[in-house]
Structure 1
Amino acid sequence: MSKKVKEPKPDWIRIKLTTGDNYQEIKSMMRSKTLHTVCEEARCPNIYECWANRTATFMILGDICTRACRFCAVNTGLPTELDLQEPERVAEAAEKMNLRHCVVTSVARDDLKDGGASIFAATVKAIRERLPLCSVEVLIPDFLGSRESLQIVMDAKPDILNHNIETVERLSDTVRAKAKYRRSLELLQRAKEMQPSIPTKSSIMLGVGEEWDEILQAMDDLRAAGCDIMTIGQYLQPSEKHLYVKKYYPPEDFAKLKEEGLKRGFSHVESGPMVRSSYHAHEQVKSAARHKEEGAVSQA
């Protein structure tokens, strides 16, 4: 058998390396409080830019995921960590960073009865107590479809509820582990039903074999579920054991997809080769708020 030859990265896939004082300070603080970030664990290409700008996405519930999605670099296995003091440490770090927008995500914890929903809720509460003016976004797993777990998170009233569908429906079972495309859409729709005023958000990555029409259909599916914000980025293979990149989309394709998303009524679409779910998240929450105000004015 001949070994598959990987397509070289195009010129527009560039990572900005910035490891100045802010980067080193944030890295040191995360270690001192034994916190994890998805920036590091998922090998996000924007870590240098975001940490230099004093923004980070906290990853709670440990650093071992119970799932093994074929695109994700996070460690998988049987978790042993459940730290009830973690929400307070996240809040302390957010306060020291003086964040205006805080993103909290987690590994999938299918071993826990509520999937970790109560820790999400406690983290939102702890951040709000220390930083009343800081908006809080949660990027949650699907909780295996548990309505009760989702209700726990929504009752904490995060400023944005984020859950990623990751890819188009045809490829979902190949790319993801356990998570189901329609279940993810149902979660987003339920979240909107539980708290209609809270913006919902989702993301897809391109380059794993999807067709253009399938991307547009995913947009339509998200809008039908009431999703407000969408992010679209290029998949980059984190290691040899992960999915190969089947296509690198040029920046002009991402620009076209942003137009398509806005035409469909998303309040904000972040679309570009290096875009990840939490990239420019602080701008997205502002955009969603403006969209909501404009809608209220037009209905008056």
Structure 2
Amino acid sequence: MSKTDYNYEDEKRKILEKKVRAQQTFTKKIEIEKKPEWFKVKLPGGENYREVKAELKKNKLWTVCEEAACPNLSECWAAKTATIMILGGTCTRACKFCHVDTGNPGGKLDLDEISNAAKMAQVMNLKYLVVTSVDRDDLEDYGASHFANVVKAIKQSNPSTLVETLVPDFNGSQKHMHTLAQSSPFVIAQNVETVERLTYDVRDRRAGYQQTLKCLEFYKNHYPDISTKTSLMVGLGETVDELIATMKDLRAIDVDIITFGQYLRPTKRHLPVLEYYHPSTFEMLKDKAYEMGFKFVASGPLVRSSYKAADYMEHLKAQGHMK
């Protein structure tokens, strides 16, 4: 382009128009992601919270509650409930909703996790501890024996602490599922995460909807005394009819506990939030779930898979199933 062909004012106008379009697009995205008025998070606080946090730091122990900045942290800690993650911090799968690092841990295991989990239950004087993990497809047994050893250590050193395990699918291996279940956790949870239609839009392709159902069915068929649990995120483009159909699939295999919570986008690289459910919709889902026969349901904007976990224990006590 020659100097005579170049029009400074015209170029300036084009640049300005481009900036305006970019700002409009950005504003539109912000409006879509903007949380509604009812979606308020109370900051953690209270004497019990500060004491427990100080004690954990002194013992170099870390909960998922803190790492994930969970909005329900104070409430759960006050109820002597917490969540710990084992098998390291690198997942071999890449679900599109999850903020956990993805990679290949190369078969490495931190065996101190076993004693640390037991120590955490003791330090926090826990009534209920949820043990979860990343997926470890790099391990021969997908981490099942390590999971079982953690459960056994907690139960041995803290018999009064009930343990819920939120487990990977162990690649659908019945041998490895037996290994986990034989450690006798109070609850075995595996999250279906979303409705069947959206499974491969949301989850890693190795984590199928039917695979999760088969795993939950296996635990219920072989270990009927252990309660089974699953959780779903909402706001990813599913319909209420699809959520109800999912509940029917879960009740067909006698899943005991279900939770519903609002999906929140961790970063711009993750799936966008397509809808924020109103609290009344969460209440409707809760009512439907109880009508279908689920033994315990937690449903609300801030509900996460381990939220109100210990309430199931209180629910069973109230029904005379536990002392």
Describe the SS at the equivalent of 1:232.
strand
Distance in 1 (alpha carbons) for counterparts of 2:247 and 2:98: 22
Shift of the 191–207 alpha-carbon distance from structure 1 to 2, 3 Å rule, reads same
Conserved in 2, the CA contact under 8 Å of 1:39 and 1:47? yes
Q: Could you tell me which amino acid in structure 2 is paired with residue 55 of structure 1?
A: T
Contiguous gaps of at least 5 residues in structure 2:
1-21
Q: 1:30 to 1:110 in 2, by over 3 A?
A: farther
On the 8 A contact 2:195/2:242 being kept in 1, the answer is yes
SS of 2:81's equivalent in the other structure is coil
Task: List per-residue Cα deviations over 1:230-264 (Å, max 9, x = no partner).
Answer: 00011111111111100000000000001100010
* Deviation of the 1:102 alpha carbon: 1.1
Q: 1:282-293 to 2 correspondence within 5 Å?
A: 282-288=310-316, 293=321
Distance 1:286 1:186 in 2: 28
Residues 1:194 and 2:222 are matched in the alignment:
yes
Paired residues of 2:128 and 2:162 also in contact (CA < 8 A): yes
**Contact 1:17 1:49 survives alignment (8 Å):** no
Deviation at 1:46, TM superposition (A): 2.2
* Structure 1 gaps, min length 5: 295-300
Residue matched to 1:259: 287
Partner in structure 1 of residue 213 of structure 2: 185
1:120 is aligned to 2:147: yes
Distance 1:179 1:248, change over 3 A: same
The residue type paired with residue 272 of structure 1 is G
Partners of 2:234 and 2:242 in 1: CA distance: 11
SS at match of 2:298: strand
Task: Spell out, residue by residue over 1:8-55, the C-alpha distance to the aligned partner (whole angstroms, 9 max, x if none).
Answer: 101111111023444344445545555443324444332344345553
**Counterpart-to-counterpart distance in 2, 1:82 and 1:28:** 27
In structure 2, the residue matched to 1:56 is: 82
1:41/1:201 CA distance change after superposition, 3 Å:
same
1:107 alignment counterpart = 134
Q: Percent identity?
A: 48
Q: Given that residues 56 and 123 in structure 2 are in contact (C-alpha distance below 8 angstroms), is that contact kept between their aligned partners in structure 1?
A: no
Provide the rounded CA distance (Å) in 2 between the counterparts of 1:53 and 1:60.
Answer: 22
In the alignment, is the contact (CA less than 8 A) between 1:16 and 1:48 conserved in 2?
Answer: no
1:67 to 93, 117, 120: 93
Alignment of 1:153-168 (within 5 A): 153-168=180-195
What whole-Å deviation, never above 9, does each CA across 1:255-296 have from its counterpart, x for those lacking one? Answer: 0001100010000111111111110110023324656849xx
Higher radius of gyration, 1 or 2:
2
Structure 1 residues 242 and 100: CA distance shift in structure 2, 3 A: same
Where does residue 95 of structure 1 map in the other structure? 122
- 1:140-176 deviations in whole A, cap 9, x for unaligned? 0111111111110111110011110000000011111
Q: 1:135 to 1:17 in 2, by over 3 A?
A: same
- 2:102 aligns with one of 60, 66, 76: 76
Aligned residue in 2 for 1:239: 267
Residues 35/149 of structure 1: CA separation in 2 closer, same or farther (3 Å cut): farther
Cα distance in structure 2, aligned partners of 1:30 and 1:78: 29
Letter in 2 for 1:12: W
Q: Structure 1's 289 and 159: CA in aligned 2 closer, same or farther, altered over 3 A? A: farther
Contact 2:80 2:127 in 1 (8 A): no
* 1:79/1:157 CA distance change after superposition, 3 Å: same
Structure 1 letter corresponding to 2:173: S
CA distance in 2, matches of 1:89, 1:29: 13
